[in-house]
A = this chain, B = another copy of it.
Amino acid sequence: MTTADATQRGAEQANSARQNSPQTGSDPGAVPDLIQIAAPVAHEMQLVEEWLTTNLIDDSAFVGELLSQLFQAGGKRIRPLISLLASAASLTDEKVDPHHSRMSRLHIILAVLTELIHAASLVHDDVIDAADVRRGHATVNRRFNDKMAVLLGDLLFAQASICLARIMNPSVVGVYGQVLGDLCSGEISQMRQQFSLKVDFDAYVQKSIGKTASLIAAGAHCGAILNARSNEVIQALHQYGTNLGICFQIVDDLLDVTGSAAKTGKPVGSDLKNGLLTAPSLFILARGDELSERFAELVKTRKVENEDGLKEALTIVEEGGGIEKTKELAGAYGLKARDALNILPPTPARQSLSDIVDYVLVRSS
């Protein structure tokens, strides 16, 4: 599917998602909330939660308390949820080895591992971005200092690598090893692209895979590896996770310019101000007209760092159709994610994986 095709099909998808507002609660046809989505793996999600909030012990009471606070402060746990649902959705197969036919402790560890890596990278991101607030709580770097945050992030990565090693599956190890590398390389290449106009859609998608989609895709398909499923099923869930992850990142980048600070917790236009060109900006540059030129100048001269320049750039993004086109692009990736699920038997878990796509897309509307 070309980007154009994807965009066209995505537009319908995005429109359909927008019609289903989350405010409509349990109305038929409404987008389910996360509790409904999690229903097929509610018990397992609880085990993950217990692991994160009570089992992450440390010899030092101080560190144990810090870790416990970090996870009690919340987060949607969308990564472990995707991982558990995909594990559950890839269980039902007659050909499957009976010894691998139920959700096991390894599936829980896989989900925990996925959240630990996410948490570690957030703690380090907050150091990198000098962020003060995360999920309504003061960040570790703010409450203590950068040193403590670097060390706490390291400790979380350490816990993650213990989980990874416990899974004792060479394929899974290979996948997560790549993910850890991708996460760092993704952030490093983002840093190096600041205020560069050389970013194109390919580079943008690659960076989004490294930063976001790689981890989500790992959680989504490694359960099927543990379930000893066919390569076809494993690849389909990998496709699902990758496309959902890209969709997720695009929606995040969209919220940065549409300014729903309540949803992102960041000031409007933070990315642009930092010289990071994401989908909405790339669509403007792709127009190849006067609007593109003016926009490029605002970035190149770093005028976007000042209030007036940023305001002008955001106006260009909106008036030049950057927001609408970005919504379509997110929808297109969401559709690709959902299409990938067709290979799986229709189960409540598969339905929930599909519902997560809507859940992500309605954030953009």
- A→B interface (CB under 8 Å): 58-60, 62-63, 120-121, 124, 127-128, 146-148, 150-155, 157-162, 164-166, 168, 170, 173-174, 176-177, 180-181, 183-185, 187-189, 191-192
Known: A62-B192, A154-B124, A166-B173. A159 touches B181 (CB 8 A): yes
Query: A143: shortest Cβ distance to chain B, in Å?
Result: 14
Kindly list chain B residues whose C-beta atoms are within 8 Å of the C-beta of A168: 168, 170
Kindly list chain B residues whose C-beta atoms are within 8 Å of the C-beta of A188: 60, 62-63, 148, 151-152, 155
Copies in the complex: 2
Residue of B nearest to A66 (CB): B188
Residue in contact with A161 in the complex, picked from B150, B151, B165, CB distance below 8 Å: B165
Inter-subunit contact B146/A184 (CB<8 Å): no
Residue in contact with A158 in the complex, picked from B63, B127, B177, B189, CB distance below 8 Å: B177
Query: A333: shortest Cβ distance to chain B, in Å?
Result: 22
A148, A151, A168, most chain B CB atoms within 10 A: A151
Known: A161-B165, A165-B173, A165-B177. A189 touches B60 (CB 8 A): yes
Inter-subunit contact A128/B151 (CB<8 Å): yes
Per the bound structure, the CA–CA distance linking A128 and B144 in Å amounts to 13
Per the bound structure, the CA–CA distance linking A160 and B176 in Å amounts to 12
Inter-subunit contact A152/B60 (CB<8 Å): no
Per the bound structure, the CA–CA distance linking A164 and B167 in Å amounts to 12
Q: For the A-B complex with A161-B161, A162-B180 known, give 12 more contacts whose Cβ atoms are closer than 8 Å.
A: A120-B154, A146-B146, A147-B191, A151-B191, A152-B188, A157-B158, A161-B165, A162-B181, A164-B165, A165-B177, A168-B168, A168-B170
Residue of B nearest to A182 (CB): B59
Inter-subunit contact A148/B191 (CB<8 Å): yes
Kindly list chain B residues whose C-beta atoms are within 8 Å of the C-beta of A181: 58-59, 155, 158-159, 162
Residue of B nearest to A179 (CB): B158
Kindly list chain B residues whose C-beta atoms are within 8 Å of the C-beta of A128: 146-147, 150-151
Kindly list chain B residues whose C-beta atoms are within 8 Å of the C-beta of A152: 184, 188
Inter-subunit contact B177/A161 (CB<8 Å): yes
Query: A301: shortest Cβ distance to chain B, in Å?
Result: 22
Per the bound structure, the CA–CA distance linking A272 and B122 in Å amounts to 33
